[in-house]
A and B are shown apart, each in its own frame.
Chain A
Amino acid sequence: GENVEQHPSTLSVQEGDSAVIKCTYSDSASNYFPWYKQELGKGPQLIIDIRSNVGEKKDQRIAVTLNKTAKHFSLHITETQPEDSAVYFCASPTGNTDKLIFGTGTRLQVFP
């Protein structure tokens, strides 16, 4: 089955700097890669996703890049703000199903 590895587990940046979180997956048939942000006491919120027919997708300060050959995808946050502080999870479906396998999470702290 699918295995998703996520790095780093924690990331501390200064406000205004960029943050990059990387995930690798094992199932070459995977074609959908969402990123979720989970704030303390809340459920995960989808922030951006990408499908395998594109290599990059941007939404304001957030971007996701996908390298299907290397089987990894990354979340890029530019001009970080304190409100970006949260735990971020990547995910990928297993096999030809809707079941998402989640990475282990990255705790991002943005210091003012």
Chain B
Amino acid sequence: SAVISQKPSRDICQRGTSLTIQCQVDSQVTMMFWYRQQPGQSLTLIATANQGSEATYESGFVIDKFPISRPNLTFSTLTVSNMSPEDSSIYLCSVEIVTGETQYFGPGTRLLVL
């Protein structure tokens, strides 16, 4: 398995501001993903973070709102831009050590937008 950490663990932000969430893994992984989990809901994939290239976004998510970086095989960031109260969610990163194998999740970042 992999040990995954996320920073910050939680935050309260004002509407119109942006927040960058970091995901750090203790070993090199092939795949990194970002998910959103709205209150009391299931997980929805935002995008696949590609190392050294632009992320691949799912339907309904755009780069201007959720810019993602992945500079190496152990680290990725997700920015939630120009936030509104509707962005209040848990944001989770997940990784695959080997492509096509098990996905492991980080502890999540709990975001509240006022």
| A residues with CB within 8 A of B | 32, 34, 36, 41-46, 49, 89, 98-105
Which one of A36, A43, A102 contacts B106 once the chains associate, using CB atoms below 8 Å?
A: A43
Contacts A89-B42, A100-B45, A102-B43; is A46 near B102 (CB within 8 Å)? yes
Contact string against A for B residues 32-45, beta-carbon threshold 8 Å, 1 for contact and 0 otherwise: 01000000011111
| B residues with CB within 8 A of A | 4, 31, 33, 41-45, 48, 58, 92, 96, 99-100, 102-108, 110
Which one of A36, A42, A100 contacts B107 once the chains associate, using CB atoms below 8 Å?
A: A42
Contacts of A44 in B (CB 8 A): 43, 92, 105
Closest to B100 in A: A98
Closest to A6 in B: B42
Contacts of B43 in A (CB 8 A): 44, 89, 100, 102
Asked if residues A43 and B96 are in contact (CB atoms below 8 Å), the reply is: no
Contacts A43-B108, A44-B92, A98-B96; is A104 near B103 (CB within 8 Å)? no
Contacts of A104 in B (CB 8 A): 41-42
